[in-house]
Structure 1
Amino acid sequence: MSKKVIEVAVGVIKTGSKIFISKRHESQHQGGLWEFPGGKVEVGETVFTALKRELKEEVNIDVLGSRELQIIEHDYGDKCVRLIVHIVDKFAGEAKGLEAQLCQWVEITSLNNYAFPAANQAIIDKLHTEMS
Structure 2
Amino acid sequence: MTIKIVNVAVGVIKKNNAIFICKRGDEQHQGGLWEFPGGKVEAGESVFAALKRELTEEVGITIHSSSQLMVIEHDYGDKCVKLDIHVVSNFSGEARGAEGQPSEWVAISELSNYDFPAANADIIEKLQARYA
**TM-score of the pair, normalised by structure 2:** 0.99
1:35-46 matches, within 5 Å, as 35-46=35-46
Counterpart in the other structure of 2:125: 125
Aligned-pair distance for 1:2?
A: 2.1
1:82 aligns with 2:82: yes
Distance 2:72 2:48 in 1: 16
Counterpart in the other structure of 2:14: 14
Distance 2:69 2:130 in 1: 10
Aligned-pair identity (%)? 61
Aligned-pair distance for 1:131?
A: 1.9
Counterpart in the other structure of 1:107: 107
Aligned-pair distance for 1:24?
A: 0.1
Counterpart in the other structure of 2:2: 2
Aligned-pair distance for 1:129?
A: 1.1
- What runs of 5+ residues in structure 1 fail to find an aligned partner? none
Amino acid at match of 1:30: Q
Amino acid at match of 1:105: W
The SS at the match of 1:28 is: coil
Distance 1:48 1:121 in 2: 23
- Residues matched between the structures, number: 132
Counterpart in the other structure of 1:52: 52
Moved segments of 4+, more than 2 Å:
none
Q: Deviations 1:60-87 (Å, cap 9, x if unpaired)? A: 0000110000000000000000000000
The SS at the match of 1:83 is: strand
The SS at the match of 1:105 is: strand
Distance 2:91 2:115 in 1: 26
**TM-score of the pair, normalised by structure 1:** 0.99
Distance 1:73 1:48 in 2: 18
The SS at the match of 1:44 is: coil
- What runs of 5+ residues in structure 2 fail to find an aligned partner? none
